[in-house]
Structure 1
């Protein structure tokens, strides 16, 4: 049995709980004090209940916020929510994430995001990826691991076209390196051709497993974390 067969041997997990319910804790103060303005903090995040010490945000909530991303403020709220969900409570990582807002022209940043969103709305996630990964117009401190999250959430859980935009990060890349014949460097800024290849693999595996593509994405992420920790 191959490693790919082993990974997808059991019935797929329920998407509603495994994917949409994936909740990440965060410390609001770490963000509010570092954003250009305290007024930037999305109301939807401010209203989330605490689970233990911190409030948590799940994928379902971020998807819902994409419903209002048709204005600059709405796109900014969605971007912040995607960053929060992807960062957790690590203060050092929060500092790195908010540099997006301090090291880029904000109007230009919104134009890039708006352009990527237009490609997602047309059903072309690879073109959307390319907008934000343009070598001649890269958004500073906004690499694929995070802008792919924004592309994913910007669908509002209603992706169009044959391919869903999916999240790719170092954990997913490690799993891909183990499971595919291609070479995936975990710390590389993957180009659009590499992203297209990832989407093709993830969608084919989802069809084979009888599940949604983002169930495969989270399964790859989990496997990548295991590989980082030295698990077999």
Structure 2
């Protein structure tokens, strides 16, 4: 989880690796494709964009604003998705995809 948090913070920090005009919707995709592992030993990085954020319930811990999410909100979302995935016996990215598609989540 700390690696995911550090990656998020690095992309937000102009002194480290921030890319102008590219926010969480872009870099959470980069972190997802670079860091997703199906070993189940760590919270998995997932994509957080305006579509997903707009469909997250309050208990997921992400405020409804577009593009200004903080690392603690992203981590809360990852933890929430991991819990939902475990309850449904699916991978965490299946939870993210269900949100993106507007599908209902069981559990």
TM-score of Structure 1 vs Structure 2, range by shorter chain = 0.7 to 0.9
CA distance in 2, matches of 1:175, 1:151: 21
Tell me, which stretches of 5 or more residues in structure 1 are unaligned? 1-119, 225-232
The answer as to 2:36 corresponding to 1:172 is no
Identify the match of residue 194 of structure 1 among 64, 69, 73.
73
The runs of at least 4 consecutive aligned structure 1 residues that moved more than 6 Å come to none
CA distance in 2, matches of 1:200, 1:149: 17
**What CA RMSD, in Å, does the superposition of the two structures yield over aligned residues?**
2.4
Q: Which has the higher contact order (CA 8 A, sep 6+)?
A: 2
Question: Which protein has the larger Cα radius of gyration, Structure 1 or Structure 2?
Answer: 1
Contact 1:125–1:165 (Cα < 8 Å) also in 2? yes
> For residue 22 of structure 2, what is the aligned residue in structure 1?
142
Give 3-state SS (helix, strand or coil) of 1:139's partner.
coil
TM-score for both structures, normalised by structure 2:
0.79
- Whichever structure has more strand as a proportion of its residues is 1
Tell me, which stretches of 5 or more residues in structure 2 are unaligned? none
CA distance in 2, matches of 1:175, 1:167: 13
CA distance in 1, matches of 2:62, 2:45: 21
> For residue 95 of structure 2, what is the aligned residue in structure 1?
216
Contact 2:62–2:77 (Cα < 8 Å) also in 1? no
TM-score for both structures, normalised by structure 1:
0.39
Contact 1:144–1:168 (Cα < 8 Å) also in 2? yes
Across the two proteins, how many residue pairs are aligned to each other? 100
